[in-house]
Amino acid sequence: MDTKTRMPTLFVPHGAGPCFFMDWNPPTAWNLMGRFLESVADTLPQRPTAIVLVSAHWLEPVFSVTTGEQPALIYDYSGFPPHTYELRYPAPGEPRLAAQIAKLLSQAQLPAQVDPSRGFDHGMFVPLKLMFPAAEIPVVQLSLRQDLDPQAHLHAGRALASLRDAGVLIVGSGMSFHNMRGFGDPRFGPISDTFDRWLTATVEAEPAQRSQNLIDWAQAPAARLSHPPRAEEHLLPLMVAVGAADQDRGRCVFTDRVLETRLSAYRFG
């Protein structure tokens, strides 16, 4: 294993719907996050051979993977300008990699299924349009599990860690804060800061402690005000990225206050 070329794992914020591709109020709200996403490719040791993206917007009873050769886009947002429903991201799928992922999960005692008809939702195509705009790198999307069990998602990431040595980039796409009532409300600024400090300290802890803290994340300060009960799907992609990180240490690579709340991104390796 060459640690200089081994792919890192990432947890990135995907913003609000198609926010990077439309006017917003205030106009600069998502600018720094957009620039961060645009910079990611230049920080990698090499061009990924493929991308495995875990989206907060796909939940299934068991882990599921896309196997389509050219998945369509799913515009799973509403109330946005008409042109945002015409966005394109024609990245190819990678059926063989998808089958390998399902096999690795099954071997780890995690039931998995393949889905040849599932398209790419906005948790996938919105950030990847900024990160890899040419849409030339094959992408496989991995679902979350509906039970939202943090330990199962850490375990799933561990099952996929070996893919990093084959040049596969594993990306968790969600939000470090995701209480819809809190966005735009200044009362949630200190709340999001409190949870963000805990989350960053956890990510930067040694791996065993990091995993245990994430299993118990709901006990963290301001946790349930930042991710309400049964609505933590935007945090769970982080668990997969952490599991796939194995023993690699993590660090915060982006943070900004957006719509009165603190949002951060993390890298492992």
| pLDDT tens for each residue of 105-162 | 999 999 999 999 999 999 999 999 999 999 999 999 999 999 999 999 999 999 999 9
Within-domain flag for 31: yes
Q: Report the alpha-carbon distance of residue 66 to residue 115 in Å, rounded.
A: 5
Q: Report the alpha-carbon distance of residue 249 to residue 40 in Å, rounded.
A: 18
**Residue 90 belongs to domain spanning:** 9-268
pLDDT interval class at 5 (50, 70, 90): confident
pLDDT at 237: 98
Torsional sign, CA 143, 255, 165, 136: positive
Average of per-residue pLDDT across 191-208: 98
For 31-57, give the DSSP string. Answer: HHHHHHHHHGGGGSSS--SEEEEEEEE
Average of per-residue pLDDT across 212-217: 98
**Could you give the 3-state DSSP secondary structure of residue 208?**
helix
Within-domain flag for 1: no
Q: Judge contact between 147 and 226, C-beta under 8 A.
A: no
| CA distance between the termini of the chain | 13
Average of per-residue pLDDT across 74-86: 97
Within-domain flag for 195: yes
Average of per-residue pLDDT across 200-226: 98
**pLDDT cut 70: percent of the chain above it:** 99
Within-domain flag for 4: no
pLDDT interval class at 4 (50, 70, 90): low
Q: Which residues contact 75 (CB under 8 A, 6 or more apart)?
A: 84, 85, 87, 122
Q: Which tokens is 96 given?
A: 């063989």
Within-domain flag for 208: yes
- Tally of domains in the chain: 1
Decide if pLDDT at 37 tops 60.
Answer: yes
Within-domain flag for 172: yes
Within-domain flag for 3: no
Q: Report the alpha-carbon distance of residue 191 to residue 97 in Å, rounded.
A: 40
Q: Report the alpha-carbon distance of residue 193 to residue 95 in Å, rounded.
A: 41
Q: Judge contact between 41 and 16, C-beta under 8 A.
A: no
**Locate tokens 């791996």: which residue?**
207
236: CATH = 3.40.830.10
Decide if pLDDT at 1 tops 50.
Answer: no
Rounded to two decimals, what is the model's pTM? 0.97
Within-domain flag for 149: yes
The CA-based angle 117-100-246, given to 5 degrees, is 120
Q: Judge contact between 182 and 192, C-beta under 8 A.
A: yes
**Could you give the 3-state DSSP secondary structure of residue 190?**
helix
Q: Judge contact between 88 and 128, C-beta under 8 A.
A: no
Average of per-residue pLDDT across 94-113: 98
Decide if pLDDT at 230 tops 60.
Answer: yes
Q: Which tokens is 199 given?
A: 């989350």
